[in-house]
Amino acid sequence: MLLGKKIAVTMPAYYAAKTVGKTVADIPREYVDIVILVDDASKDDTFATAQALGISVFRNEKNLNYGGNVKRCLQLALDAGADIVIQLHPDYQYPPKVTLPMAAMLATGYHDLVLGARTSGKGARGTMPFWRYLPNRLLTMVMGWCFGVSHSEFHTGCRGYTRKLLETVPFHEFRNDFIFDNQMLIGALRHDFATSEVTCPTVYEEDSSSIPFSKALRYGIQCLKISIPYFFERITSGKK
C-alpha cells in the first residue's frame, strides 16, 4: 500500500526460470500488495520456480504472445483490486526497485501512466547494445512528434498504469504482439490521460530476454504505422 493505494506488480513471463527469483527478491514488498506472474506456456521451469516464491502464479495453456500475456496480467491485477499496476519483466533487465518511484508517481494522482525510461539521463548508454540504442532514440523522436508528448523513450517494457486508465482504455481490443504497449500509450492519449516517466537503469545480461533484429525491425515499422495515423487524428481533432 502506498498513499492509500493498493499496488500490484505484474510480470509477463516467458522462459524466465533463471531470473525470476532475483527479480522477485528485489521488489519492494513493503509497498507492493500483490505480485502476479503469468507464464506464457514456457517449456522451461518458469512456472514451478515462480510458484516456490510465494507470489500469485498463473499459466497460459497456450502461448498468447507478448501482448496477449500482458493483457491477462493487467486483468488479473484489476480483478485483485489493484489501484496501481506496474508491469515488470521478470528477466531482471529492469531493476525491480524502480517499481517504487513509478508507483509513487501514479499514487499522487497527477499521472495515470508512467514509463520506466531506459534512455533518460545517462540511461542505457554503455549497457544497451548500440544497434538497439540508436534506433530507439530515432524512433522515439519521430513518435514523440506524432504523439505530441515528450518522453525519453516509448519502447520500454517497464510501465505503470492507474486503475482508472485500465478501466477506460479498451486494452483487450489491442494486438497481441509487441506493439501492444504503444497501443496502450495511444489509447491513454486519446482519453487525455497524463503521462510521465522515471529514469530506469537497465542491465543486459546473458539471461535477459531480447527480440532478434528481424522482429525489432518489424516492431519499428509497426510503431510508425500506428504513430503517423495518430498524428493526423490529433491534428484534425484540435489536440495540441
Domains in the chain (CATH in brackets) are: 7-237 (3.90.550.10)
Say if strands 159-162 and 84-87 run parallel, antiparallel, or are unpaired. Answer: antiparallel
Indicate the pTM of the whole model.
Answer: 0.92
Q: Give the pLDDT confidence of 3-60 residue by residue, as tens digits.
A: 999 999 999 999 999 999 999 999 999 999 999 999 999 999 999 999 999 999 999 9
Are 77 and 12 a contacting pair, CB within 8 Å?
Answer: no
Q: Give the pLDDT confidence of 156-195 residue by residue, as tens digits.
A: 999 999 999 999 999 999 999 999 999 999 999 999 999 9
